[in-house]
Amino acid sequence: MKVLKYLLIKEYKQMFRGYLIPILFVLVPFALTNLVPRIATQEVSNLDIAVIDNDHSSVSKRLTEKISASGFFNLRSLCGNYMEAYDLLQRGDVDFIVTIENGFERILYREGAAKMMLSVNSVNGMKGGLGNNYLTQIVMQYAKELNEETRNSMVSPMNICPQFLFNSQLNYKPYMIPALMSLGLILLMGFLPALNMVSEKEKGTIEQINVTPVGRVEFILSKLIPYWIVGLFIVGFSMLLAWKIHQVVPAGSIALVFLFAFVYILTVSALGIIVANYSDTLRQTAMLMFFFIIVFALTSGLVSPVSSMPDWAQEVTRLNPVRYIITSLREIFLKGSTFTQLLPQFIPLCIYSAVTMTWAVISYRKKQ
């Protein structure tokens, strides 16, 4: 243990001697929690829409006003006919066309229902789908209003009243921030120990260590412990940023966030060491780590939910530690889940860290 102390002093000094690494410790969480949730948002707004109002009635005019006042749509053009609007859509000036036929108001009052047409550019499926939803909601809301005004049940006999649980605003940020935190941790806590370890190989300093009686466990721990400490600091720093910048705070326990993050940091840092132990050069290590990080990120549910993947792919994601941490952190942040509720995530994470830690020590060979 005394030896470990000297090794840790060395690692600590090396870590803070260059200025670049400490800057990364601040920059990466800052970029991931502050910038990315603003840029990589899946909330859709500023949808460009064209309205063809052939009715020119008070009902159709009010509907047009409702659409442009909703905040989701930019009313780009009031067109006289469909061809004119379709031309705008072709040129990419608008993505939605609402057509209100002549006699809309008359038919509505006479028959209790009237038709209007919505054309959607669905090259971007998500944008089209969400715009369609928003527009339907606006029309439903308007129909309800008209219904109340005329006090008869001519429009919309059924009323859907959705209630969104856990994230009532359907806000993208509390959903993405825990996932981005996990990504930041694998980037820093996976890559840096790997590069540290392999650069000792490249410089030859590891040979000077191997020829001493230093224990394998001690040497590997000396490589990992500094990153565990920094990792926990990064978790705290990211949560602080999320709170101060986006007002996103975990609904559940903060201690639980730290606990899960810690077990996850053990895993990714040990993974970095394993990769370095099997490579001879910095280049090999960097390529292997990129491979792992990209595969892990894409199969983790960061972007596309695991539940919508094909069955075989869902099975594959069970091998991915990032999946468990993203699920856990999202549940803690949004649902306020407790430790017991998260056991199905916690147990795999623990198994993962035990396996990778053991592997990291075994794969480090002082002797060839």
Partner 1 sequence: MTEKIVIKAERLTKQFGHFTATDHITFEVREGEIFGFLGANGAGKTTAMRMLCGLSQPSDGWATVAGYDVATQHEQVKQNIGYMSQKFSLYDDLTVEENFTLFGGIYGMSRKEMKEKTTRLLEELDFASERKTKVKSLPLGWKQKLAFSLAIFHAPKIVFLDEPTGGVDPVTRRQFWELIYQAADRNITVFVTTHYMDEAEYCDRVSIMVDGQIEALDSPANLKQQFEVETMYDVFYTLARKAKRGDS
Number of other residues whose CB lies within 10 A of the CB of residue 99: 19
Min separation Cβ 164 and partner 1, Å: 53
Start-to-end Cα distance in the chain: 25
Q: Count the Cβ atoms, other than its own, within 10 Å of residue 306.
A: 18
Structure tokens given for 52: 């063809």
Distance CA 139, CA 221 (A): 62
CB closer to partner 1, 14 vs 341: 14
Question: Is 368 a binder of partner 1 (CB under 8 A)?
Answer: yes
- Minimum Å distance from CB 266 to partner 1? 25
Tell which phi-psi region holds residue 103, choosing left (phi > 0), alpha (psi between -120 and 50) or beta: left
Burial class (CB in 10 A: 0-12, 13-18, 19+), 59: middle
Asked if residue 226 lies in contact with residue 252, where contact means CB atoms within 8 angstroms, the answer is no
Q: Which stretch binds partner 1 (CB under 8 A): 24-32, 162-170, 208-216, 272-280?
A: 208-216
Nearer to partner 1, 2 or 151 (CB): 2
- Could you say whether residue 1 binds partner 1 (CB under 8 A)? no
- Biggest CA–CA distance in the chain, Å, is 95
Least separation in angstroms between residue 3's CB and partner 1 is 5
Is 281 an interacting residue with respect to partner 1 (CB under 8 A)? Answer: no
| Per CB under 8 A, 3 contacts partner 1 | yes
Which residue's CB is nearer to partner 1, number 77 or number 199?
Answer: 199
Q: Is 145 in the site for partner 1 (CB under 8 A)?
A: no
Give the number of other Cβ atoms within 10 Å of residue 96's Cβ.
25
Residue 247, both tokens? 């007002």
Stretch that binds partner 1, among 33-41, 107-115, 205-213, 321-329 (CB under 8 A): 205-213
Q: Is 17 in the site for partner 1 (CB under 8 A)?
A: yes
For partner 1, the closer CB: 6 or 291: 6
The structure tokens listed for 276 are 């370095």
Element at 73 (helix H, strand E): strand 73-79
Pattern of binders to partner 1 over 347-366, x per CB under 8 A? -------------------x
Nearer to partner 1, 10 or 56 (CB): 10
Residues interacting with partner 1, by CB under 8 A? Answer: 2-3, 5-7, 9-10, 13-14, 17-18, 203-205, 207-214, 366-368
